[in-house]
Structure 1
Amino acid sequence: MTDTVLAGATAPAAGRRRKPPAAPPTGPDRIPKPSQGWYRDKVTGDKLRRVTTILSQGSTKGDVLALWAANLVAETAFTHLPRLVAASRRPETRTEMYDWLRRAPLRKKDERADIGSAVHRIIEARVLGEPIPADLVDDDEMAPYLRHFLRFVEEWQVTFEASEMVVGNRTAGYAGTLDYLLRSPLIAAALNVSASTVLMGDTKTGGELDVKGVYPEAALQMSAYRKAEVAWLRDGSTVPMPATHSTGVVLHLRPEGYRLIPVACGDDVFAAFRIVQQAADWVSGLSKTVVGEALDLPAIEEKAAA
């Protein structure tokens, strides 16, 4: 990389030292990390919108979450009705209980996020052949997730090509971290494709088996990863995004078992993702500027008397 002189740039004033340029990142530091809804490529300076942020802002997922939150607050209220009635009799306890009740969705969301994060850490360690993180080794809550994941790998004869890999599409302006890429002769047979086919894979831990837990947004998410242009390896180097099939699989992993759900993530789904991305751009950008302040009635000068 060579230094360039910008047209119109002026030399630093005498006696003042120019701040030396930051050293270019090396090794794994070159891998973009998510921050405030963006991935920043430290090598090129590109800012790529986080795929999950795009989906939360541009899809109907927000409506689903709002309904879920309302139902959870109502369920929590009826479960703790005697406690709520008792607290309502005094202003100080009423305010405290009101705050506790309205935060029920946040507590549940944080709980699910903690479980999901822990499960992904366990899976990543197993995929890479590394020890399970020490804080999760003896975690009884995590044990059934690990057991069912290992059963999935054995029963479907799964081998992994990549895990927790950051991928991006500079042209479309987005990036994300895919769960894994895999091969499985049994999954391939079920999908009627070649046994050597590489498939996009994702793990979901919410909801209930055979009821809910895998939503259409999973297809949008995987289609975006599938159409990435670049992938970052663990040493920080980049490679073109590996080709994957137009159908991926979601491992719905729960303490009581697992289900393997095929999910379409082909070009037509990617086209839908791009529409969602435009909607997210509207929500986060232009929509904030289109409604102005109320107009004041203009003052009208009185005509001089004839």
Structure 2
Amino acid sequence: MAKLSTIKRNDSRFYVNKETGEKVPGVTSIVDMIPKPFLMYWAAKMAAEYTVDNIGSVVQLLLDGQRDVAVDAVKGAPRRSTGDAAKVGTAVHDYFEQYARGTPPKRVPLDVQPFADHIAEFHDRYQPEYLYLEQAVWSESHNYAGSFDWIARIGDEIVIGDTKTTRSGVHAEVALQLAAYRHADKIVTQAGDEEPVPAINAGGVFHLRPEGWKLVPVRTDRVVFDHFLSLRHTFDWVKSLSGDVLGDPDYDSTAELSTGSQRRAK
């Protein structure tokens, strides 16, 4: 298989075979089909906290006649919060990969240093032997692809692992994500080479926060994978089929009313 690239379409990520042009949805975009009603309340809380903490600035904008600017500032609070967390998460992921490859940077940013200490502790405790780092999987059987953090031998187990820095902890959906990687048809390396997925028998999340870390076991068995496949079908429905199931009405009384109104207006 040729090298893979990614594109974004309608807020979803797709993996593309550069040689054939074949396009399949990414694992995380498929898992995003799970409803997340709590995000609505979280976003409202972020907007409310921003308004309270910056009430003077918001009121001044209103007094200056800049209502649209005030609205944009308030509604952008959730995005700014996740953006700041994502920057730290990306920096920690980069440091983890360098450390795992045996080439940790000599200088570590202050906001990454607590995480760097935990990464060293994790490696001292578990002595993981990495088989793959930051590679992709492809499923021809079920038409999906994705990028995983690491596969390592820890003790007598082969573990598919994910490194996370989320403030809210480890969520159950990560099991669907890791199960999808485990049960894919093949690994596609960054060089474009194809290799079989090793016989994985465990899943885990290495969860880091500034105050500490933990390794959380995660189920990745066939039962969990079957639930992922259900979401794979849901993805097709939401992104494609749902837009093609309703035809033009045989009769539409509102169309006649609209036409009559237009005639009277003339």
TM-superposed deviation, 1:201: 0.6
Helix, strand or coil for the counterpart of 1:172?
Answer: coil
Q: Could you say which residue in structure 1 is the equivalent of 2:41?
A: 67
TM-superposed deviation, 1:143: 1.4
1:253 aligns with 2:226: no
1:168 and 1:219 mapped to 2: Cα distance? 18
Aligned mate of 1:97, from 70, 73, 92: 70
TM-superposed deviation, 1:72: 1.3
Letter in 2 for 1:198: I
* TM-score normalised by the chain length of structure 2: 0.86
Superposition misfits of 4+ residues, deviation over 6 angstroms: none
Letter in 2 for 1:224: A
1:167 and 1:235 mapped to 2: Cα distance? 13
The one-character-per-residue Cα deviations of 1:197-252 (angstroms, maximum 9, x if unpaired) are 20111011111xxxx3211110110000000111023432111111211x411111
2:240 and 2:216 mapped to 1: Cα distance? 35
1:202 aligns with 2:202: no
1:38 and 1:53 mapped to 2: Cα distance? 8
Helix, strand or coil for the counterpart of 2:103?
Answer: coil
2:44 and 2:232 mapped to 1: Cα distance? 27
Contact 1:231 1:241 (8 Å CA) reproduced: yes
Which structure is higher in strand share? 2
Contact 2:5 2:18 (8 Å CA) reproduced: no
Greater CA deviation, 39-48 or 94-103?
39-48
Q: Could you say which residue in structure 2 is the equivalent of 1:228?
A: 184
Q: Could you say which residue in structure 2 is the equivalent of 1:282?
A: 237
Letter in 2 for 1:158: P
TM-superposed deviation, 1:51: 0.8
Helix, strand or coil for the counterpart of 1:249?
Answer: strand
> 1:111–1:84: structure 2 CA closer, same or farther, 3 Å change rule?
same
> 1:138–1:150: structure 2 CA closer, same or farther, 3 Å change rule?
closer
> 1:153–1:131: structure 2 CA closer, same or farther, 3 Å change rule?
closer
Q: Could you say which residue in structure 2 is the equivalent of 1:242?
A: 198
TM-superposed deviation, 1:181: 0.8
Q: Could you say which residue in structure 2 is the equivalent of 1:11?
A: none
Q: Could you say which residue in structure 1 is the equivalent of 2:223?
A: 268
Letter in 2 for 1:163: L
Q: Could you say which residue in structure 2 is the equivalent of 1:16?
A: none
TM-superposed deviation, 1:40: 1.1
* TM-score normalised by the chain length of structure 1: 0.75
The one-character-per-residue Cα deviations of 1:71-95 (angstroms, maximum 9, x if unpaired) are 2112222222333233332322x32
1:147 and 1:165 mapped to 2: Cα distance? 25
Helix, strand or coil for the counterpart of 1:198?
Answer: strand
> 1:286–1:234: structure 2 CA closer, same or farther, 3 Å change rule?
closer
User: For the pair shown, which has the larger CA radius of gyration, 1 or 2?
Assistant: 1
Can you give the 5+ residue segments of structure 2 that lack an aligned partner in the other structure? 257-266
2:102 and 2:3 mapped to 1: Cα distance? 21
Can you give the 5+ residue segments of structure 1 that lack an aligned partner in the other structure? 1-24, 186-194, 300-306
2:248 and 2:71 mapped to 1: Cα distance? 34
How many percent identity over aligned positions? 32
1:55 and 1:293 mapped to 2: Cα distance? 32
